[in-house]
Amino acid sequence: LQFPQLALRRRLGQLSCMSRPALKLRSWPLTILYYLLPFGALKPLTRVGWRPVSRVALYKSVPTRLLSRAWGRLNQVELPTWLRKPVYSLYIWTFGVNMKEAAVEDLHHYRNLSEFFRRKLKPQARPVCCLHSVISPSDGKILNFGQVKNCEVEQVKGVTYSLESFLGPRISTEDLHFREASPGNSFQQQLVTKEGNELYHCVIYLAPGDYHCFHSPTDWKVSHRRHFPGSLMSVNPGVARWIKELFCHNERVVLTGDWKHGFFSLTAVGATNVGSIRIYFDQDLHTNSPFYSKGSYNDFSFVSNNNKEGIPMRKGEHLGEFNLGSTIVLIFEAPKDFKFHLKAGQKIRFGEALGSL
């Protein structure tokens, strides 16, 4: 494309006089073409001052929340009986779903895609490991695990996010027995309630073909829920390497409480087409609302005058579900001799051991 440079400069000068939103609107189509067309067809534009929007900024501008709500509506549409088997069979073939583990193997039983995504398993399909103190809360792939260092957590190898940005400000000491805040204590140190303990993390990615329910990873008491209504970008490991602090941008539900060794938290992170996060014992939780303020969050305490212990959860007990694959992040306190029995990148199933003392 050989544009006369003088005319192009004049045209770009007119664009620069526009309001910033209008300028972005006019330059986005060119940006999309810039990344799609082969052989740098629009490279001459960059020589006269035009710059494409970055890939990250372009991706962040996609209305993923709106698309996820539309996908949720589509999932609720009841399929004709004759169409169910072809549709579900295509999904099973694409994502490698093992229907022999499903409590109901007959594909005609599932009236819509949502029911199929949230299918239950046979009781014997996922035996819960009794020998280890922490088990996997879901099926998935281990993205990262280990000690939390310098108040940062790895979402994938080499890409970190802030612990405080992810969990939000310190929760009231009425709900959790945090160490008293002092100028010398970092956010990470405030979460550790017992001397000699360390803070650990584990990130599990649920692919679209995985079992979509998640369970309690240990015996603990849930005292508090914090809901961050945010973006719904993909949490695929490839995207997680691309966008720093992706988990801090996305919508998520943080459950915090304590177990026998101190602080314990489980966070369900939403993703594209996964605007619906359900916690079975929390009927007041509503995710992917059309209206939200960026950076906001809302808190709910399960500790009350009548229930000072919070919600007790047994290891392996049903906790919640996604409408499609997403991510579970565990952040917890444990003694220094706690050991993970994992390898980064390995596949894991609900009930298998994560680690123990």
> In the structure, what pLDDT confidence band is assigned to residue 220 with cuts at 50, 70 and 90?
very high
Residue 304 belongs to some domain of the structure: yes
Interval 97-139: pLDDT, tens: 999 999 999 999 999 888 888 888 998 889 998 888 999 999 9
Same domain membership, residue 306 and residue 248: yes
Q: Distance between alpha carbon 158 and the CA centroid of its chain, in Å?
A: 18
- Stretch 268-294: mean pLDDT, rounded? 80
pLDDT reading at 269 higher than 80 = yes
Same domain membership, residue 257 and residue 327: yes
Same domain membership, residue 334 and residue 274: yes
284 labelled catalytic:
no
Same domain membership, residue 92 and residue 211: no
Residue 83 belongs to some domain of the structure: yes
Interval 53-88: pLDDT, tens: 555 566 666 777 777 777 778 888 899 999 999 999
215 labelled catalytic:
yes
pLDDT reading at 19 higher than 50 = no
187/75 Cα distance (integer angstroms): 40
Residue 28 belongs to some domain of the structure: no
Residue 128 belongs to some domain of the structure: no
Same domain membership, residue 158 and residue 79: no
Same domain membership, residue 290 and residue 161: yes
- Stretch 181-201: mean pLDDT, rounded? 81
Taken in order 89, 91, 96, 100, the sign of the CA dihedral is negative
Same domain membership, residue 146 and residue 227: yes
Q: Are the C-beta atoms of residues 266 and 346 closer than 8 Å to each other?
A: no
> In the structure, what pLDDT confidence band is assigned to residue 20 with cuts at 50, 70 and 90?
very low
pLDDT reading at 17 higher than 90 = no
231 CB-near residues (< 8 Å, 6+ apart): 60, 64, 65, 249, 250, 251
Residue 260 belongs to some domain of the structure: yes
99/352 Cα distance (integer angstroms): 20
Cα Rg of the chain (Å, integer): 23
Domain final residue, candidates 92, 118, 144: 118
Same domain membership, residue 350 and residue 231: yes
Same domain membership, residue 200 and residue 318: yes
326 labelled catalytic:
yes
pLDDT at 107: 93
Residue 291 DSSP label: -
Residue 29 belongs to some domain of the structure: no
Same domain membership, residue 343 and residue 307: yes
pLDDT reading at 311 higher than 80 = yes
Same domain membership, residue 152 and residue 111: no
Structure tokens at 70: 């539309």
Helix (H) or strand (E) holding 20: helix 20-36
> In the structure, what pLDDT confidence band is assigned to residue 15 with cuts at 50, 70 and 90?
very low
Higher pLDDT, 89 or 234: 89
Higher pLDDT, 269 or 272: 269
Structure tokens at 280: 């079975």
Q: Are the C-beta atoms of residues 270 and 332 closer than 8 Å to each other?
A: no
Residue 89 belongs to some domain of the structure: yes
Print the domain residue range for 61: 56-118
Phi, psi (deg, nearest 5) at residue 216: -70, 130
Residue 292 belongs to some domain of the structure: yes
Number of domains in the chain: 2
Same domain membership, residue 99 and residue 195: no
Phi, psi (deg, nearest 5) at residue 6: -65, -45
Q: Please state whether beta strands 353-356 and 339-340 pair in parallel, antiparallel, or not at all (unpaired).
A: antiparallel
- Catalytic residue, candidates 201, 215, 227, 249: 215
- Catalytic residue, candidates 27, 139, 223, 227: 139
